[in-house]
Structure 1
Amino acid sequence: MSDQQKIRTSVEIYGHTYKMVGSETSGHMRLVASMVDEKMREFHAMNPSLDSSKLAVLTAVNATNDYLKLKEQVEQLEFELRKLKG
């Protein structure tokens, strides 16, 4: 992807500003950042002693776990759909 096709946007996550670059819309990138920020704040409320690095890792582990569960569900649904089609 060339630089001209990349979208750049600034987002705030857990009190820090980050410049994001990608092929998604600015709105999508802001939504992702908002969800990460929300999850980090949720984990901080449950574990106030964790620093931002540990909160970030905990958030990444949680997001990856959610992703893997959803991927497994999609694969199961695709399998069931193939069975129904014949």
Structure 2
Amino acid sequence: MEKDNNKSRTTVRIQGQVYKVVSEEEPSHVKEVAKYINQKMDELKKKNPYLDTTKLSVLTALNLADEYLKMKREREGE
């Protein structure tokens, strides 16, 4: 982990690819997010093993956005 002002550079692996993420968040949080994304991609890949990486990424983003918006609506409705 390298520090750049208030930002940290954290290396994560998603679907076998290495990414260096620059964030103000703690490295442990960045790794947790990457792990969650990787799990979601694995779930979709098991259901659709022939998806290429681009389609898998877009479908994962759509599913995560769906989860987020549903949770946001629930929270706002309280």
TM-score by length of structure 2 reads 0.92
Residue 4 of structure 1 and its aligned partner are, at CA, apart by: 0.7
Counterpart amino acid of 2:50? S
Counterpart amino acid of 2:46? A
TM-score by length of structure 1 reads 0.84
Cα distance between partner residues in 2 of 1:57 and 1:9: 23
Where in structure 2 are the equivalents of 1:1-86 lying within 5 Å? 3-77=4-78
Structure 1: stretches of 5+ with no match in the other structure: 78-86
Cα distance between partner residues in 2 of 1:12 and 1:42: 16
1:39-60 CA-partner distances (Å, limit 9, x unpaired):
1111111001101111100100
SS in 1 for 2:5: helix
**Higher strand share goes to which structure?**
2
Give the fraction of aligned pairs with identical amino acids, expressed as a percent: 44
**Higher helix share goes to which structure?**
1
Q: Which one has a bigger Cα radius of gyration?
A: 1
Cα distance between partner residues in 1 of 2:26 and 2:54: 27
